Amino acid sequence: MSHDWTLVALVLIPLVGSILVFSLKEAQAKLAKQISLAVSLIVVVYTAVVGFRFDTGPNAARFQFQGSWTWIRAFGVHLAFGVDGIALVLVGMSVLLVPAVILASWNSLDSRAGSEEAPTPTGHRRSVKNYFALLLLLEFFMIGVFTATDVFLFYVFFEAMLVPMYFIIGIFGGPRRQYAAMKFFLYSLIGGLLMLASVIGLYVTTGSRSFAITDLIGRVPDTATQKWLFLGFFIACAINAPLVPFHTWLPDAGAEAPAGGAALLVGVLDKVGTFGFLRYCLPLFPAASRWFAPTVLILSVIGILYAAFLAIGQRDMKRLVAYTSVAHFGFIGLGIFAFTTQGGTGAVLYMVNHGLSTGALFIVVGLLIARGKSRNVDDYGGAAKVTPILAGLFLLAGLSALALPGMSTFVSEFLVLVGTFTRHKGLAILATTGIILAAIYVLYLYQRTFQGAVSEKVLKFRDLNAREILSVAPLLALIVFLGVYPKPVLDIINPAIKDTLTNVHQTDPAPTLGTAVGGVK
């Protein structure tokens, strides 16, 4: 049993910071912000150190920095942590978003002038220090869910991360925050219960007396049993992702959550679902994964087109961004269940890029709403002439969302479509139309809010200050960098994807040569 403390320390740093911020007095709001930012930056630096130490060589172990300690001996449950390339890049994306959200939310609760929403009807002042403590607590659960290598421990983190997000939406969100928070929680809770049933089924059917992922792979040989257990994990992850038709909670939660909370909800928490497809559904239930793959692929394409059309029709900016995410998750599902190296690698890179891109887009949308006190697209116009920096960052975030060449999102979308085309040409062609629709809803949003005649309300806007620029500029800079040079991230992801395809007993299709001139192949 390994006792490497590397990942345990990474998981515990935000937890300790959260407890410290919770213990402060209400009057110490500024100190709460400073501690939260400092802790989140420490986590970023620590994660970077772990990333540089990660071995991508041909003989490297799949799971690295593994540490395991007995938790519930009678059932073989362990506090077990480890990362492969998939988990590592998702942890990196998650910890980068947290300080960005903290900076963007710095004054969002201090006064009506700095808030994107009006105060509560009773005039009750929302707790600043509790909001930032909840962000750190959420970071603790996010890191834990990606690094857990014990299936039961994964389930615990999967369920526990709902709690801080429920309070972030329900206390600090918009006018319909309580409805949105309850809908989010109930959907996710139902999915979690289905996952728990499958976790118990794994324990009973495998007889392994262990919940370690490495001990369970290949232990469910019966195809019928695999199908039932697969469904429990898949539906839970599909709700969390969310994949059409399990998506209906996201537009409400994304719209009513504060902008920072929405950035983490859509940027990170939703990735736990697609991560669960790769980490658990495919390796544990390979036969069932292959059997259900055509259905998932069709649902993914439907999600790309359906959500894109709904996004085009939205007038609420935050709901529009939420619907774009549903479409993007369709691309991720397509890449995962295409069962090709290019598709899988593209899907994981898409998770990272979508987190950075949508996180940045939610932040800049929140900064605009904080100035105009409205989420309605039609209430704005000509803002680029008054707030050119905000307009520029908004445009960059929007272009990354539509996967413009030169942005990292283009690389991931290209890999997904190429990887899918090698097995499912028709579905790949249909999915490609989603790129056109993405250009429509993103450019429509930018044109209606930042171009045209300057409205009287917009004339009073102030441009971004240094703190607000710093909250989003590094994310956009990283998107551009990875769009030009994605190799470092791809080198980390590729070995884990190849291992996953091996678990599913799939290989890339053999290349075929078309008919040449004269009929010679």
Confidence at residue 206, expressed as pLDDT on a 0 to 100 scale:
84
**In the chain, which residues have pLDDT < 70?**
1, 110-125, 511-521
Confidence at residue 118, expressed as pLDDT on a 0 to 100 scale:
44
CA–CA separation, 63 vs 170, rounded Å?
37
Neighbour-count burial for 407-421, b at 16+ CB within 10 Å, e otherwise = bbbbbbbbbbbbbbb
Classified as helix, coil or strand, 46 is: helix
Confidence at residue 370, expressed as pLDDT on a 0 to 100 scale:
87
- Decide if 518 is inside a domain: no
Name the burial class of residue 41, with classes exposed (0-12), middle (13-18) and buried (19+) by CB atoms within 10 angstroms of its CB.
middle
Name the burial class of residue 348, with classes exposed (0-12), middle (13-18) and buried (19+) by CB atoms within 10 angstroms of its CB.
buried
Q: Pick from 230, 436, 411, 437: which is nearest to 335 by CA? A: 411
- Decide if 516 is inside a domain: no
Q: Pick from 266, 334, 349: which is nearest to 300 by CA? A: 334
Name the burial class of residue 389, with classes exposed (0-12), middle (13-18) and buried (19+) by CB atoms within 10 angstroms of its CB.
middle
Cα–Cα distance list, 229 to 23, 83, 277 (Å): 42, 24, 13
CA–CA separation, 457 vs 448, rounded Å?
14
Confidence at residue 64, expressed as pLDDT on a 0 to 100 scale:
92
- Decide if 517 is inside a domain: no
- Decide if 469 is inside a domain: yes
- Decide if 370 is inside a domain: yes
- Domain of 170 in residue numbering reads as 6-509
Q: Quote the number of domains for the chain.
A: 1
Could you read off the pLDDT of 434-471 as tens digits, one per residue? Answer: 888 888 888 888 988 888 888 778 888 888 899 999 99
Q: Pick from 349, 173, 155, 326: which is nearest to 258 by CA? A: 173
- Decide if 348 is inside a domain: yes
Could you read off the pLDDT of 139-160 as tens digits, one per residue? Answer: 999 999 999 999 999 999 999 9
CA–CA separation, 14 vs 140, rounded Å?
5
* Spatial CB neighbours of 74, under 8 Å, sequence gap ≥ 6: none
Residue 78, beta-bridge partner list: 70
Could you read off the pLDDT of 414-427 as tens digits, one per residue? Answer: 999 999 999 899 99
The rounded Cα 180 to chain-centroid distance in angstroms is 19
Cα–Cα distance list, 410 to 25, 332, 353, 518 (Å): 46, 13, 9, 37
Confidence at residue 120, expressed as pLDDT on a 0 to 100 scale:
45
Residue where the block lists tokens 């009773």: 122
* Spatial CB neighbours of 64, under 8 Å, sequence gap ≥ 6: 54, 55, 82, 83, 84
Neighbour-count burial for 125-152, b at 16+ CB within 10 Å, e otherwise = eebbbbbbbbbbbbbbbbbbbbbbbbbb
Query: What count of other Cβ atoms lies within 10 Å of the Cβ of residue 245?
Result: 11
Query: What count of other Cβ atoms lies within 10 Å of the Cβ of residue 454?
Result: 15
* Spatial CB neighbours of 122, under 8 Å, sequence gap ≥ 6: none
Confidence at residue 123, expressed as pLDDT on a 0 to 100 scale:
46
- Decide if 105 is inside a domain: yes
CB-based contact 326:494 (threshold 8 Å):
no
**Alpha helices (H) along 373-407:** 388-401
- Decide if 515 is inside a domain: no
